[in-house]
Amino acid sequence: MEKSQHFAEEALRVAERLGDAARLVGGHMAVAVALFWQGKLDPALAHFRRGFEMFDPTMQFPNWPGANPGVQCQFYPALISWMLGYPDRSLDELRAAVGSAETLGHPVTLAHTLCWVALVHIFRHEPPAVADDAGRALRICEEHHIPQFYAIALCANGWALGVSGEGEKGLAQIAQGVESYGLGALRHILLALQADAQLAIGKPEAALASVAAGLKAVEKTGERRLKPSSIGSRTRHCSPAPAR
């Protein structure tokens, strides 16, 4: 994450020299994401807000890999709202981001946003809402062949099944999602969902193994925001661990 921040800051400086509004949005987004995953929420939020202020839905990002950076500048602050203790505001902000993604008509952006909405519903322990958002993301990913967010949506949907009485079916979906996702940056979150679903059907040893694997993944990336041990707990609201 520190390396990511270094190159994102360099990209932002290049965008500032060029005076290109679209690249500036992308630069602010990239810096903000690197800061976010290190638990540096205040500076991350400042960059996200600056990027979204500059964002115009008509902007073109022809070489941008992944979700639209302007919408990312909109939905990441919703996750920060959750972390700062504003769960209702977080959902309102995420719904607004879904609306922006729908307006753009960009499948990757919409799938990405829906996955984050599902995650916040997981934090709120709302399985039906998780199933709705994850199910929609799955359909988009299947139609447009988006493997990364398909794996995340599959795990979220599996979690909803697992904590709603269909434990084995849910765990099978999560296992499939974790395997297909591979060693991506969010692997620890998927393993945390697996741990929570394992606990729901009385498999504490398996849950501990999932958490241990998730913590190992966190150590490799240097992330300090969402620890798997904090999600994989049988509490009413599964909230992120504080930054260290």
- Report the alpha-carbon distance of residue 8 to residue 210 in Å, rounded: 31
In this model, does residue 240 exceed pLDDT 50? no
Interval 103-128: pLDDT, tens: 999 999 999 999 999 999 999 999 99
DSSP collapsed to 3 states, the chain: CHHHHHHHHHHHHHHHHHCCHHHHHHHHHHHHHHHHCCCCHHHHHHHHHHHHHHCCCCCCCCCCCCCCHHHHHHHHHHHHHHHCCCHHHHHHHHHHHHHHHHHHCCHHHHHHHHHHHHHHHHHCCCHHHHHHHHHHHHHHHHHHCCHHHHHHHHHHHHHHHHCCCCHHHHHHHHHHHHHHHCCCCCHHHHHHHHHHHHHHCCCHHHHHHHHHHHHHHHHHHCCCCCCHHHHCCCCCCCCCCCCC
pLDDT at 228: 44
What is the average pLDDT across 210-232?
70
Any residues with CB less than 8 A from the CB of 194 and at least 6 apart, and which?
Answer: 155, 171, 174, 175, 178, 207, 210, 232
pLDDT at 217: 87
In this model, does residue 147 exceed pLDDT 80? yes
pLDDT at 185: 81
What is the average pLDDT across 222-236?
47
Confidence of residue 177 (pLDDT cuts 50, 70, 90): very high
Mean pLDDT across the chain, nearest whole number? 89
Interval 3-36: pLDDT, tens: 999 999 999 999 999 999 999 999 999 999 999 9
pLDDT at 236: 36
Confidence of residue 62 (pLDDT cuts 50, 70, 90): confident
In this model, does residue 178 exceed pLDDT 90? yes
Interval 84-104: pLDDT, tens: 999 999 999 999 999 999 999
Domain ranges of the chain: 1-88, 106-244
pLDDT at 224: 60
Bigger pLDDT: 223 vs 192: 192
What is the average pLDDT across 165-184?
92
What is the average pLDDT across 136-158?
96
**How is domain 106-244 classified at the CATH fold level?**
1.25.40
- Report the alpha-carbon distance of residue 144 to residue 81 in Å, rounded: 31
